[in-house]
Amino acid sequence: MLYYMFNKPQDCVTACSDAVHKTVMDYFPAELAEKLHPVGRLDKDTCGLLILTDDGDLDFKIMQPDRHISKTYFFYAVGTVNSEKIQLIENGIPMHGFTSKPAEFRLCRQYKIRELESFIPAERREKYMKNPDGAAFAATLTIHEGKKHEVKRIMEAVGCRIFYLRRDSIGSLELDPELKQGEFRQLTESEVLLLKENK
């Protein structure tokens, strides 16, 4: 079986092929790409940890929402958080169609928007930079189900807008800090075990 860790860049889609966009498979040699498939998905504008494998059972084992495998994301967002908002996030927020499961939130640092200009997507930069001294912050959020756009939706529910999102871990498996965006490597035997034993 083949197991690879990939540091997915922004602006490519998690798919084996796409007629319009660059895909994560375009970063792999053709002879390897034809054997692998991505486990789960990351949005086009989300970067970070993605697993690719030829193990057909792994996707079901770790990515199904009812398995409750934790996934930790680092992000930059416009807005502010306080104890009331954090409590809402950590207790679960009713949203359209579902209530988010309790999550773990950690505030890393507060910023002014202008300090994060290089991380703001080009299509939003002009709008956000009209208020360069506006509030922004860096944080991590650990979720346990992984519904579509869940991290962004949770933060929007408390009045914050994420503009940079990176997945740092799946269960106990963490993104290798030595792996630059667009780079990949095989998982070690111990990392494969971590992935398979994730609770």
Angle, nearest 10°, between helix axes 83-91 and 150-157? 140
Residue 113, SS3? helix
d(CA 72, CA 91): 17
R_g of the chain, CA atoms, integer Å: 17
Which residues on neighbouring strands pair with residue 155, listed in sequence order? none
Q: Does residue 110 come out as left (phi exceeding 0), alpha (psi in the -120 to 50 range) or beta?
A: beta
Judge whether 65 and 185 are in contact, CB under 8 Å. no
Written as six digits, the tokens of 98 are: 């579902």
d(CA 10, CA 166): 9
Q: Which residues are catalytic?
A: 43
